[in-house]
Structure 1
Amino acid sequence: MSSQITERASTLSRSRRWAALTVLLFPVLLVSVDNTVLSFAVPAISGALSPSGTQLLWIIDIYPLILAGLLVPMGFLGDRIGRRKVLLIGATGFALISALAAFATDAFQLVLARALLGIFGAMLMPATLSLIRNIFPDAKERRTAVAIWASAFSGGAVLGPIIGGLLLEHFWWGSVFLLAVPMLLPLLIGGLLLLPESKDPNPGRVDPLSIVLVIFTLLPFVYAIKSFTSEPLYVVIGAVALSVASGVGFVRRQLAAANPMIDVRLFSNAAFSGALTVNLIGVFSLVGFIYFVSQHLQLIAGYSPLDAGLLMTPGLVLTMVFGLVSVPLAARFGAPAIMVGGLMLSAAAYAVVVFAGSSGDVFWLMAAFCVLGIGVGMSETLSNDMVLTAVPASKSGAASAISETAYEVGAVLGVAVLGTILNTVYAAQLKVPEALDAAATQAAGETLSGAHQIAQGLPADQAQALLASAAHAFDHGVLITSSIAAVLALVAAIVVARIIKPATR
């Protein structure tokens, strides 16, 4: 029965295939819009809920972190019970929890809602990519479909700041979460009418311990990064040790299983591993950049959320355009060359920020973002396609889950690593007026938004001095984080160039 269902997915008419792809773009747009909208809502959330610096990072990161931990299990679940079924369950839950998140009254409630969104969000992305793998059996059609799928991420990133800016200027911060409801309705209706069901005719067994090991590989690792400067050293070391032990345990368990949840031997495939590296570093670069530039534009340069979103639109449009352009470029020059070129452009973008100096000039920031958009657009489409083509169609759910895990881990680390470094440098560089009490000093040193809130209650001269120091400290942190990001992207480009053979297409 299951093999017949899978076959049905691969024998659709041409018009039905592309109509099905249109339906599958809605969850992709939603996830992308959700990520960029939240970055632009950070100042408004900070003002309304007064989170600490650590809470603010968790509000942003808990969703992709939980999502990353569950992507592989949910991809496996889709292979087992049906990818369309998992997709529709995830869409329903995501819409309901988004409505609850919009009305959170404190930082803890919002963190909890974001965690629940991560659970249902994990059902969305592996299902979309694995359905594409089965709906488009022809390699050329599939690469075009994946390019459109990847471009939808960029399209959502373009729409996110603009829609979010409009909402934040006219409504409260919670309105950005209500976007999920109208965006998922077409998926629920179209999914029932147009999407074929598909699943693996021979899935691995349900393994709760493996699921737990995946989660405990990721959660403690990111916690260690976030808590490096605020927790005792033994706590950080313990978290890293738990992460490593869980990761080793997961790999050994998969190697010993006759039919594992994830075939970790796939990582011995150079094309597969190289493509995942490109995926992770590309998203790491993009999300980390958006995290700090959105705050700079609003809190230092003084732009409204809408104007800040419009300023970033060209770079995001270039990400979408070059996601599509990468397909003919790969046909001419080979996918590895284009992916390596994309990583090098990402490194160059961060280098522009470094060499522009600590002035934080908006022109240079936007120029760098355009270069970054081109680089990420070139690399992401091809890396996703390379991951899919490295495995049989029956295992596409698991493979796409691994690809999406790399994507979400990149998003988590982009904020966790660069955000933690930025916050640490900011706190070290900030100089506050001597008249501030301990509580106000701590609040101003937690986040840039915190400094702006404290400044509102100070005399004009003290407020001006605090804001000037906060701007300098923040931009100095941006220089340090940009230097690190540039080096990481360059190293990744070198590694990928060495492990993926030029003949790979």
Structure 2
Amino acid sequence: MGTTPSVGADSAAPARAGRREWTALGVLMLPLLLVSMDVSVLYFATPAISADLHPSGTQQLWIYDIYGFVLAGLLMTMGSLGDRIGRRKLLLTGAAAFGGASLLAAYADSAGTLIAARAVLGIGGATLMPSTMALVRTMFTDPGQRAKAIGLWSGVMTGGIALGSVMSGLLVEHFWWGSVFLVNLPAMTLLLLLGPVLLPESRDPNPGRFDWLSVPLSMAAVLPVIYGLKEIPSEGWHPLYVVSIAVGLLFAALFVRRQRTGASPLIPPALLKGHGFTPALVLNLIAALAMMGSAIFTTQYLQSVLGKSPLAAALWSLLPSVFIGFAGPVTAQLVQRGVNRGYVVAGGFAAMTAGFSMLAFLGTDSLWLALVGAGVLACGMVAITSQLVDLAMRSAPVERAGTASSLLETGTEFGGALGMAVLGSIGTAVYRHEMPASAPAGARESLGDALATAAHLPAGAGASLLTTARQAFTDGFQGAAIAGAVVVALAAAGAAVTLRRIEVRDEK
């Protein structure tokens, strides 16, 4: 079996991982899968939760959103903390918290309890995500093996979001809503049992003092921006959301200043100067922007335009995920065989361009075109992510692996929120432009409002309104797809130019 060298070990020929490391990777994939699934696991459980716990409208929003907000807000903190106290220690602590919160959420008897449990789940998720990637960085010192491992990591991360909604639907259909949280327990128990045996401990040998002031500053920078960006697609450019983004950007400026001037910063400025790290961070954000910006339309298209039930739509959306698992390892093989990484990443963006181009030709009855386009987009995303994560982790010092991983994950969260805001706003603008002035006022706001309005109209008028609204939504989807294609096509050119001359050796 292979051995894992100590952090910072200098070796001309890195030890190859053996059965122990690959088994450990399989154990790490379980919490990663569950953390990504928990983003969408309430998709079908929300109605049952509402019937049982009777949350207010505000409470219902918090039940759904608190997990993602806490997760995004604490990623940078937890990544830096793991570098200081040990990534395995933080991972196992997070697994215990995630398991305990899952149990509390499953048997919550009030909306407040469920909100609190989901918040703790977010805290646990924020420890698990950067810790898994940092441990991959330390376990797989051979560049080729690490590239394959990161490719698998990227595929599991992307596929878990789609799988979460399907599992939610199946469990709620056969059991009670709390079962969607209980599925976390076996995986977390397995991690707690096998983690101490299989996973190596690693940390920064000279971490310095922990900058506690940077923690609230980082959360104040991240949360208002993500909140504003996520609300804009559905609510429009309301002053509240614009102010929220502005406040977040103000705190972001204060956070950056703190990192540049502090004696022991949470995010060392030198990390961003690593050869290849910043381009990887920016391009990864753009890829997330494109992926999440398309996903909000695809889900609505399957349900509200094609008329699929929520569970049927979720099952159909799994079909493109079948090919996701191959994208990361295949691109890793291309790089290992000498294909320039910049061209491989550019090829991933070109695939996303092709996916958006397919979606730009959607009609109101184009199921297979939608699925193929979404599948090509997802494969391009995984190909890009696997290479950019590998590049970023190689260019970051191994003692800062957790911090580097957390920055990438935070960028992904920002990119996803930005994609929903930008592409969502384009689609909404086209929808409202295409809806006739004679349509009911509510129906001109969104397709969901049109469906609700049509249900209260006479049969003929309701059917006519639905036909018009579905066509308008499809036109909006096409407009957003064209915009997305332009963005990723430019990113393809940028990747080819900025990455093709970057040759990174593993930082020690």
Tell me which of 18, 22, 32 is aligned to 1:18.
22
> Which residue is equivalent to 1:476?
475
Tell me which of 405, 409, 413 is aligned to 2:414.
409
Residue 74 (str. 1) matches residue 78 (str. 2): yes
Structure-2 separation of matches of 1:5 and 1:99: 36
Tell me how far 1:368 sits from its aligned partner. 0.6
> Which residue is equivalent to 2:343?
337
Provide, for residues 74-95 of structure 1, a one-character-per-residue CA deviation record: whole Å limited to 9, x for no partner. 0111111121221122222223
Tell me how far 1:224 sits from its aligned partner. 3.3
Tell me which of 210, 214, 218 is aligned to 2:222.
218
Structure 1 residues 283 and 74: CA distance shift in structure 2, 3 A: same
Structure-2 separation of matches of 1:488 and 1:387: 22
Provide, for residues 362-398 of structure 1, a one-character-per-residue CA deviation record: whole Å limited to 9, x for no partner. 1211121121122112111111111110022111111
> Which residue is equivalent to 1:63?
67
Residue 291 (str. 1) matches residue 296 (str. 2): yes
Provide, for residues 42-88 of structure 1, a one-character-per-residue CA deviation record: whole Å limited to 9, x for no partner. 89889998997x99987665533432221111011111112122112
Asked if 2 retains the 8 angstrom alpha-carbon contact of 1:315 and 1:366, the reply is yes
Tell me which of 174, 190, 194 is aligned to 1:190.
194
Higher helix share: 1
Asked if 2 retains the 8 angstrom alpha-carbon contact of 1:222 and 1:416, the reply is no
Structure-2 separation of matches of 1:59 and 1:45: 10
Code of the residue aligned with 1:397 in structure 2: it is G
Structure 1 residues 320 and 81: CA distance shift in structure 2, 3 A: same
> Which residue is equivalent to 2:360?
354
Structure-1 separation of matches of 2:426 and 2:112: 23
**Equivalence map 1:81-480=2 (5 Å):** 81-101=85-105, 114-157=118-161, 159-171=163-175, 175-226=179-230, 228=232, 230=235, 235-331=240-336, 332-356=338-362, 358-359=363-364, 361-422=366-427, 426=431, 448-449=447-448, 451-452=450-451, 455-456=454-455, 459-480=458-479
Structure-1 separation of matches of 2:399 and 2:327: 30
Structure-1 separation of matches of 2:361 and 2:31: 38
The number of equivalent residue pairs is 493
Code of the residue aligned with 1:333 in structure 2: it is V
Structure-2 separation of matches of 1:294 and 1:368: 13
Three-state SS of the structure 2 residue aligned to 1:208 is: coil
Structure 1 residues 13 and 491: CA distance shift in structure 2, 3 A: closer
Tell me how far 1:102 sits from its aligned partner. 5.4
The more displaced of 42-51 and 127-136 is: 42-51
* TM-score (ref. length: structure 2): 0.83
Tell me how far 1:455 sits from its aligned partner. 4.9
Tell me how far 1:100 sits from its aligned partner. 4.8
Structure-1 separation of matches of 2:79 and 2:101: 21
Provide, for residues 77-130 of structure 1, a one-character-per-residue CA deviation record: whole Å limited to 9, x for no partner. 111112122112222222343455557799988766544432221011111111
Query: Percent sequence identity over matched residues?
Result: 39
Code of the residue aligned with 1:480 in structure 2: it is G
User: Over the residues paired in the alignment, what is the CA RMSD in angstroms?
Assistant: 3.8
Structure 1 residues 58 and 214: CA distance shift in structure 2, 3 A: same
Asked if 2 retains the 8 angstrom alpha-carbon contact of 1:427 and 1:446, the reply is yes
The more displaced of 484-493 and 390-399 is: 484-493
Structure-1 separation of matches of 2:447 and 2:470: 8
Structure-1 separation of matches of 2:307 and 2:282: 36
Asked if 1 retains the 8 angstrom alpha-carbon contact of 2:289 and 2:419, the reply is yes
Tell me how far 1:419 sits from its aligned partner. 4.0
Structure-2 separation of matches of 1:313 and 1:402: 28
Structure 1 residues 234 and 169: CA distance shift in structure 2, 3 A: closer
The more displaced of 419-428 and 178-187 is: 419-428
Structure 1 residues 233 and 95: CA distance shift in structure 2, 3 A: same
Three-state SS of the structure 2 residue aligned to 1:355 is: coil
Structure-1 separation of matches of 2:146 and 2:317: 30
Structure 1: stretches of 5+ with no match in the other structure: none
Provide, for residues 329-367 of structure 1, a one-character-per-residue CA deviation record: whole Å limited to 9, x for no partner. 1122122111111112112211221133x4251121112
* TM-score (ref. length: structure 1): 0.84
Structure 2: stretches of 5+ with no match in the other structure: none
Provide, for residues 194-214 of structure 1, a one-character-per-residue CA deviation record: whole Å limited to 9, x for no partner. 222221111132222212222
